[in-house]
Amino acid sequence: MQQAGLADDDDEEIWVKEEDDEEEEDGYYMDPRSPAVWTPGGRAGGTSNRRRAREEKERTKMRERQRRAITGRILAGLRQHGNYRLRARADINEVIAALAREAGWVVLPDGTTFPSSSSFAAVAAQPPRPVMVAAASPSATPLALPASSALPLRGIAPVAARPISHRPAPAFALLLPPRAAAASRSPADDVPDGNSSHLLAVPVPVPMDPAAAEDVPVAKQLQVPDVSPRPPERDFAGTPYVPVYVMLPLGVVNGNGEVVDADELVGQLRVLKASGVDGVMVDCWWGNVEAHKPQEYNWTGYRRLFQMIRELKLKLQVVMSFHECGGNVGDDISIPLPHWVIEIGRSNPDIYFTDRAGRRNTECLSWGVDKERVLQGRTAVEVYFDFMRSFRVEFDEYFEDGIISEIEIGLGACGELRYPSYPAKHGWKYPGIGEFQCYDRYLQKSLRKAAEARGHTIWARGPDNAGHYNSEPNLTGFFCDGGDYDSYYGRFFLSWYSQALVDHADRVLMLARLAFEGTNIAVKVSGVHWWYKTASHAAELTAGFYNPCNRDGYAPIAAVLKKYDAALNFTCVELRTMDQHEVYPEAFADPEGLVWQVLNAAWDAGIQVASENALPCYDRDGFNKILENAKPLNDPDGRHLLGFTYLRLGKDLFERPNFFEFERFIKRMHGKMYWQLE
């Protein structure tokens, strides 16, 4: 039998019969001259067949609606009772993938599926979460399995931890590693025996009587553990050693030159040292040190802090923070620019970055004053150089002893090399594209000179169709697909705007290299990952990174860092593109793609790369993402990060589950063997 015309995958109502069928009642056969028309007994039947085709289409639509309804109920059940992480409009492929992972299979993003090579180890490593099965008789028979005595929560074998199967499992699958059992056991589970060891009660599923099962609701027949499928973890044993630093609180030294909560800080630093942390990062705030008068520096609080750190044999990364603190994500204190600078700003607000509406951003000085003597007879770069030179002289012994391992040079907003294009104080909210910050009179003067040199004085202006802080690219004339960003004027303006950023880095790094000769220096570059999947990369453009889809905007930055032998410190290495898509699908973000582009731009230029997390990170998935970026798999050149700095020291980090994951992460960054993770 053969099906043709409007065929469906269901084998119902087959209309075609072949000629070799012996004397069928209807005598249907296919006319070879018109394969889509069926003629009973050789006579034309077009009208009847069209009617049948319409009826078949309606039946097909009905079957599709029924399938979708069934899929919707399956999804609802899995989300409600199984805690599957499925989005509301998940398709059948995602359902199948989730079920396959639950059964212990590995499903790659492209659909490639294969059985896990460590299925037994994966089950063994799973914490003991009982699978409860309802039954007419006793629901579960406790099986007492010996386990080791209680041990401190230090680590577990880094194998894939997939959920326990919800089907009856063989006895060997319920055996747990002693340390994992001890770590997850509650006091109620501890039953001492004659050998002072412990017994771990593990419920064993008992098959349910089918007759009894009919009276038990499905939700009560099976309680799914609150776990998510986890793919096999990569083994980092024997990989290169990547040092891990921890950022200290922003206000660890206050404006009076005192270390805040010094005793508590020492205790926290001791714990970090014991966990294997290599050192800490400290912000040296321009607004605290040179607060009242030009060239009068107060390093008292930092000297005491550095002494505490040296006594604990930790390394130091020090940030020259030439920006204010407060008003950005993660800022929990307020440290303004020096008071004498603020006084100058009151009479000359053009020393600050300015948006198209004339709003001033006091977070840092405009790059337009880098070479303007507006700071009581000094230029901005001279002020930065004097500050850095004073620090180098004051802490000479820490440089000589190698305690200070790196100096990070603040080059813009948040200490990052970027324009302050997305300030929360001006109403910006994620994932807004931000605004260009080039309307102070000094940068406008630079723009006019560039336009005149190009021979188009009419281009001496900022875009008038670039939207506002919270616009979307496709709703603006400048950033939309085929918009003005790719016109002759647009390319001129963006080239000038991004070159001003690179020139600022060039000027400050030249003096930083003089001040810190023989010391490692670094520059932090912001990870502007939202709108990365659009053609214009609007948020990157307003931040100063000329990185549309047809241009590499990070190669010029890598080149200037190479010129002064500076490392590139990049953020957002813990973020996953899929997570961003689930939370903000409208942002078209791609942090993984951005990180990969920046890392390769730096490595291709021959400079070292370090990184830090953009947001607080306590979960294993986030730490694993950092590890993947720190040590790329199968890199033919064996490239890896120079170091990683964790943001940030706080009480949340020392909560037991959080610190357990953090300590485990440190050991993997250090390339420890499996047994050393415990």
Going by the annotation, the residues of the binding site for substrate are: 283, 323, 331, 524, 529, 571, 613-614, 648
What lies within 8 Å, CB to CB, of 466 at 6+ separation is: 356, 433, 435, 436, 476, 477, 478, 479, 542
Helix/strand/coil (H/E/C) assignment for every residue in 489-517: HHHHHHHHHHHHHHHHHHHHHHHHHHHCC
Instruction: Decide: 366 and 443 in contact? Cβ < 8 Å.
Output: yes
> Which is the catalytic residue, given 233, 290, 406, 612?
612
Which letter, b or e, does each residue of 244-275 get, where b requires 16 or more Cβ atoms within 10 Å of its Cβ?
A: bbbbbbbbbbebebebeeeeebeebbeebbeb
Q: Is residue 416 annotated as a catalytic residue, yes or no?
A: yes
The two three-digit tokens of residue 47, written as one number: 């009208």
For residue 426, the number of C-alpha atoms closer than 13 Å in the C-beta half-sphere is: 23
- DSSP letter string, 34-103: -TT-EEETTS--HHHHHHHHHHHHHHHHHHHHHHHHHHHHHHHHHHHHH-----TT--HHHHHHHHHHHT
Task: Map residue 281 onto helix, strand or coil.
Answer: strand
CA-atom Rg of the chain in angstroms: 32
Give Cα 554 distance to the centre of its chain: 19
Nearest C-alpha neighbor of 338 from the set 298, 294, 307: 294
- From CA 366, how far away is CA 350, in angstroms rounded? 8
What is the CB neighbour count within 10 angstroms for residue 618?
16
- From CA 411, how far away is CA 422, in angstroms rounded? 16
Instruction: Decide: 568 and 527 in contact? Cβ < 8 Å.
Output: no
Which residues on adjacent β-strands are paired with residue 38? 30
What is the sign, positive or negative, of the torsion defined by CA atoms of 548, 359, 505, 245? negative
- Give residue for tokens 């415990």: 678
Which letter, b or e, does each residue of 108-117 get, where b requires 16 or more Cβ atoms within 10 Å of its Cβ?
A: eeeeeeeebe
The two three-digit tokens of residue 151, written as one number: 């041990």
What lies within 8 Å, CB to CB, of 620 at 6+ separation is: 661, 664
- DSSP letter string, 590-638: -HHHHHHHHHHHHHHHT--EEEE-SS---SHHHHHHHHHHHS-TT-TT-
Contacts 24+ apart (CB under 8 A), 426-430: 426/355, 426/359, 426/361, 426/469, 427/469, 427/470, 428/469, 428/470, 429/469, 429/470, 430/530, 430/584, 430/587
> Which is the catalytic residue, given 102, 408, 416, 435?
416
DSSP type of residue 127? -
Q: Binding site residues, as ranges?
A: 283, 323, 331, 524, 529, 571, 613-614, 648
Q: Is residue 612 annotated as a catalytic residue, yes or no?
A: yes
**For 41, phi and psi rounded to 5 degrees?**
60, 20
Instruction: Decide: 641 and 613 in contact? Cβ < 8 Å.
Output: no
Instruction: Decide: 575 and 568 in contact? Cβ < 8 Å.
Output: no
Q: Which residues participate in catalysis according to the annotation?
A: 416, 612
